[in-house]
Structure 1
Amino acid sequence: MHRHRAKGGGAIRQGQIKLDDRDLKILSILQREGRIPKATLAERVNLTPTPCWERLKRLEDAGIIESYGARISLRAFGPLTVVFVQIELESHQAEDFARFEAAIGEIDRIVECWAVGGGIDYLLKVITRDLEDYQRLIDGLLAARVGVRRYYSYVVTAPVKDTPWPVAVIADAG
């Protein structure tokens, strides 16, 4: 079994910032709707604009809000293929993980990569035009000799659920 360090923004340590119900509501709204007018957000969380903006700034400064973005409909781009891929590496040295992670970091069609424990090393989410495009991606990954021992592909036949993280539930777990 291997261990990976967290990447990206700073971790939120328990006790670093105390979140109340209004903070959680702000996070839930922003997670689903992105940037909305501050006055609208304030009204929806039952605050005046200035205290709402101060809370928002505090959440940004604490690193809880990492960025803002838009949810893009993949259907708007025509038919696409989503494939989940389990990857097992040949060797489990730190440099092997680093080499693999660097290689997949350069492939824009790999939109998510999770290091996992258990019988496999990584779980990838790949979005391509079609299965032929997916196979070219895999062939290129294997040709790059980044340590893939074996892989298993799971083609998505229909999306069933894709929702933002349940902020209130996660906050209660801390």
Structure 2
Amino acid sequence: MTGPLLAADLVTLRGEGWSVGGAADVLSAHQIRRGDLDARSAELLGQWADRLDPVFRAQAVDLRCEKINQLLVSGTALPYLTTHDGLRPHLHFASDAQDVVARVRAVTAGGLALFAVESEGARLGVCQRDGCPVAFVDTSRNGRRAYCSAKCGNYDAVRRHRAPISRR
């Protein structure tokens, strides 16, 4: 599930404040091999994160699928099955010879497509608390997650409770 989780983290980083170091940390956290980033590569990844964002914000399944299809067109090559580094068989959507930006584009586009199939086009979102930029992959039991964390959900519930009746 690297693709969707990486996509969510890139969208979140874009919302929190993009930086070369932050992007490198995200790639490292997701074990993107040979993920060395220079300023130009980080800028290209930031632009890709901007294209990933609407996938997480889409409310309708058809719109989400349309956005993922657009990513697939520009982000992937012919997929192939591999078992490199002693790992179990898995799909790659770009050659290891490609640069880190191309590989990230491929893994996020392909991963989002596979996840959309398994989740029936749902289970991707952004935190509903005002001002929270976190995108997430909903792995909850009921698939109705609205907040990135219990903390944001509680914060928003308290805010709504304390709001004047006319604003509820």
- TM-score tier after normalising by the smaller chain length: under 0.3
TM-score, with normalisation over the residues of structure 2? 0.26
Select the structure that is richer in strand.
1
TM-score, with normalisation over the residues of structure 1? 0.26
| Bigger Cα Rg | 1
